[in-house]
Amino acid sequence: MRLILLGAPGAGKGTQANYIREKFGIPQISTGDMLRAAVKAGTPLGLEAKKIMDEGGLVRDDIIIGLVKERIAEPDCANGFLFDGFPRTIPQAEAMRDAGVNIDYVVEIDVPDMLIVDRMSGRRVHVASGRTYHVRFNPPKAEGVDDVTGEPLIQRDDDKEETVLKRLAVYHEQTEVLVGFYRKMAESGDASAPKYVKIDGTQSVDKVRDEVLAALGA
């Protein structure tokens, strides 16, 4: 199973990715998580990416495409993977298509902009595992700590309102066009084209999970 989770910042991609990877036993490939790891490690990529991410912009396509191509060549991706936050531009999507990376499903999680700032301001993350919570909508069992490890949760640097609004604008300018790109592929009748599924992401976390898994035949 190879799939893409598509949706605005804060739509719930990371939250749902956790359920999908558990269900199908495939790795989650989050370019955002990969970049945050590089920032934390202070690598040359991290130093370059930090400023762009803090401003809500996108890191250069050639860098991202290189990172992803390397990642999907690793042995744990042999039976499939889940892209979270990638592709996010037409050149990124074309690079995968041209490399012959066939995708089974594109799952769009649809959430209107007006709900996003609220979701981001309450988001808390366990960095090591990628588990994501919300102080009101999806709280951890004990305040401020991860359910599984008991380690502290953090807030992301790019979750302040001003950056979230910039990220939303960038989504509409550069990423939303992928909806049409993949819908067109899905409707082409080509046997290797992905199936396109759109889910109402304004529902509860559990309801979204149930609909996503049902659409994937799980």
Residues with catalytic annotation?
A: 13, 88, 123, 156, 167
Per rule CB under 6 A, count of chain residues that contact ligand AP5:
36
Q: Is 12 in the site for ligand AP5 (CB under 6 A)?
A: yes
Residue 77: which residues within 8 A CB-CB, separation 6 or more?
26, 27, 29, 71
Q: Is 13 in the site for ligand AP5 (CB under 6 A)?
A: yes
Kindly report whether the peptide bond that precedes residue 140 is cis, defined as omega within 30 degrees of 0. no
Alpha carbon distance 139, 184 (integer Å): 38
Q: Is 130 in the site for Zn ion (CB under 5 A)?
A: no
Alpha carbon distance 71, 75 (integer Å): 9
Name which of 7, 13, 17, 184 is nearest 94 in CA terms.
184
CA 63 to chain centre: 17
Binding pattern to ligand AP5, positions 183-212, x when CB under 6 A?
------------------x-xxx--x----
Binding pattern to ligand AP5, positions 92-131, x when CB under 6 A?
x--------------------------x--xx--------
Q: Binders of ligand AP5 among 165-184, rule CB under 6 A?
A: 167
Q: Is 7 in the site for ligand AP5 (CB under 6 A)?
A: yes
| Residue 181 CB-density burial (10 A; 0-12 exposed, 13-18 middle, 19+ buried) | middle
Residues in touch with ligand AP5 (CB under 6 A): 7, 9-15, 31-32, 35, 52-53, 56-59, 64, 85-86, 88, 92, 119, 122-123, 132-134, 137-138, 167, 201, 203-205, 208
Residues in touch with Zn ion (CB under 5 A): 14
